[in-house]
C-alpha cells in the first residue's frame, strides 16, 4: 500500500510509484539509534512510566508509526535500549583491556555523564525496572554477567602482571569494583554537584590505591606470580 495514490503520466498509461507506507525515510540503523536516543532522553527527563511510544515519537519528531516500524511495543523498545547500554559498557571494557589499566574503566564510567547527560538517569531507571519486569531482568542479568566475566579476565591479567593486588580473587574484586561503580551511577542523577571534576579524579586515584598490590600479600588461588615465566 502506498502513501499516495499512483498518478498516471501523460505517457502510455504508465504510473509513478511511491514509497511503501510505514517505512521511514533514511538509513534504518541511523533512524533506530535516533529513536533509542529519544527514548533515553524521555526516560531521563520524565521517567520510565511516561516513556510511551507516542511520547518518544514526538520527542524524536516522528510519527508513532515510525517508532512501531522498528519497535513493536514499549517492551521491545526498552529491551533494545538496555542492550545498547550494555554494548557501551562492553566497549569501555575493551578499551581498558587494550590499555591494561583498570582505573580507565572508572574514568570512563564517571565521566560518561559529562559526555551524555541522559545516559545515567535513563540507565538507572531501566535497571530499577528489572525488579518488576522479568523480560528486563533477564537482559540485565545476562549482560551484567557478561560484563563481570570480562572484567574478571582483565583483572586476572593485571594480577599476573603484578599491577593489581592478588590477595583477593579476581572475580570477587570484579564484584566489589562493579558495586562501587553502580553506587556512583545511582547517586549521580540525584547528586550531580557532588561529582565535580576534582572529586572524580580523587575517586579514580583512590581506586588505584585500593587495587594496588598489597606488600607481602600472597597471590590469590589460581593466579601466578608476576615473576613467573
Q: Average pLDDT, stretch 44-54? A: 93
At 160-172, the pLDDT tens digits run 988 899 999 999 9
Q: Average pLDDT, stretch 27-37? A: 90
Name the residue among 127, 142, 123, 114 with its Cα closest to residue 44. Answer: 123
Out of 9-23, 29-43, 97-111, 118-132, least confident range: 9-23
CA distance 159 to 224: 8
Q: Is 53 within 8 Å of 68 (Cβ atoms)?
A: yes
The pLDDT, as a whole number, for residue 107 is: 84
Provide the pLDDT confidence category of residue 25 given band limits of 50, 70 and 90: low
Find all residues with CB under 8 Å of 122, minimum gap 6, and list them: 39, 40, 41, 43, 44, 81
**Residue ranges of the domains in the chain?**
22-72, 75-212
CA distance 69 to 210: 49
The pLDDT, as a whole number, for residue 130 is: 92
CA distance 133 to 126: 10
The pLDDT, as a whole number, for residue 108 is: 84
Cell numbers placing 94: 575493551
CA distance 121 to 131: 17
At 97-140, the pLDDT tens digits run 877 788 888 888 877 767 778 888 898 899 889 999 999 999 99
The pLDDT, as a whole number, for residue 187 is: 86
**Domain 22-72 of CATH type 1.10.10.60:** yes
Please give the full DSSP string across 164-225, using - where no structure is assigned: S-SSS-HHHHHHHHHHHHHHHHHHTTT-GGG--HHHHHHHHHHHHHHHSPPTTPPPPTT---
CATH entry, 75-212, from 2.60.40.790, 2.40.160.20, 3.90.550.10, 1.10.357.10: 1.10.357.10
The pLDDT, as a whole number, for residue 13 is: 41
At 204-228, the pLDDT tens digits run 999 999 999 977 655 545 544 444 3
Amino acid at each position: 500500500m502506498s502513501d499516495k495514490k499512483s498518478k498516471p503520466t501523460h505517457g502510455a498509461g504508465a504510473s509513478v510509484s511511491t514509497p511503501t507506507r510505514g517505512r521511514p525515510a533514511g538509513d534504518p540503523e541511523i533512524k533506530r539509534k535516533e529513536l533509542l536516543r529519544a527514548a533515553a532522553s524521555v526516560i531521563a527527563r520524565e521517567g520510565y512510566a511516561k516513556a510511551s511510544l507516542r511520547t518518544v515519537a514526538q520527542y524524536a519528531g516522528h510519527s508513532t508509526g515510525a517508532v512501531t516500524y522498528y519497535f513493536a511495543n514499549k517492551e521491545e523498545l526498552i529491551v533494545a535500549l538496555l542492550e545498547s547500554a550494555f554494548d557501551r559498557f562492553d566497549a569501555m571494557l575493551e578499551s581498558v583491556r587494550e590499555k591494561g589499566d583498570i582505573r580507565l574503566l572508572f574514568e570512563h564510567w564517571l565521566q560518561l555523564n559529562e559526555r551524555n547527560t541522559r545516559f545515567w538517569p535513563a540507565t538507572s531507571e531501566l535497571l530499577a525496572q528489572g525488579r518488576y519486569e522479568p523480560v528486563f531482568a533477564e537482559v540485565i542479568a545476562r549482560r551484567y554477567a557478561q560484563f563481570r566475566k570480562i572484567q574478571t579476565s582483565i583483572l586476572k591479567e593485571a594480577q599476573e602482571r603484578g599491577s593489581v593486588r592478588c590477595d583477593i580473587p579476581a572475580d570477587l574484586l570484579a564484584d566489589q569494583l562493579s558495586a562501587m561503580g553502580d553506587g556512583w551511577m545511582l547517586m549521580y542523577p540525584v547528586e550531580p554537584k557532588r561529582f565535580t571534576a576534582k572529586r572524580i579524579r580523587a575517586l579514580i586515584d583512590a581506586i588505584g590505591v585500593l587495587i594496588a598490590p598489597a606488600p607481602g600479600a600472597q597471590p590469590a588461588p589460581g593466579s601466578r606470580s608476576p615473576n613467573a615465566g
